[in-house]
């Protein structure tokens, strides 16, 4: 989803908590590849969007190269479990705020 659509979605749902997740870097590509640069730009815009929309929370996807195979596939289910855990913690934080 583009940032504009995400922003519009969040702005039109002021009474709903919005949870967004950053895009992880592509570890099968060079760090300076055009895809990774676009991912960095997207994540930066997502962070700026969060600053303007108080009811939005960003889940940071911090995955390392060791979490993926050479073909950029997750190595095992623990990565998925970690992402679910991160999302759950952010969701819990949102619920305790209100």
Q: What is the pLDDT of residues 71-93, one digit of tens each?
A: 656 556 677 777 788 888 887 77
Q: Which of 17-26, 30-39, 47-56, 76-85 has the highest mean pLDDT?
A: 30-39
> Residue 64: which region, alpha, beta or left (left: phi > 0; alpha: psi -120 to 50)?
beta
> Would the pLDDT of 8 be above 90?
no
Which pTM does this prediction carry? Answer: 0.66
Count other C-beta atoms under 10 Å from residue 6's C-beta. 19
Q: Report pLDDT for 16.
A: 76
Q: How far is CA 9 from CA 3, 6, 60, 72, 95, in A?
A: 10, 5, 20, 30, 20
């Amino acid at each position: 989803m583009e940032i504009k659509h995400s922003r519009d979605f969040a702005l039109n749902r002021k009474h709903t908590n919005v949870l967004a997740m950053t895009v992880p870097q592509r570890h099968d590509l060079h760090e300076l590849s055009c895809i990774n640069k676009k991912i960095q730009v997207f994540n930066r815009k997502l962070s700026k969007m969060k600053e303007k929309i108080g009811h939005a929370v960003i889940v940071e996807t911090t995955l390392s190269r060791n979490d993926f195979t050479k073909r950029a596939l997750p190595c095992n289910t623990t990565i998925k479990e970690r992402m679910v855990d991160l999302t759950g913690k952010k969701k819990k934080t949102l619920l305790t705020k209100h």
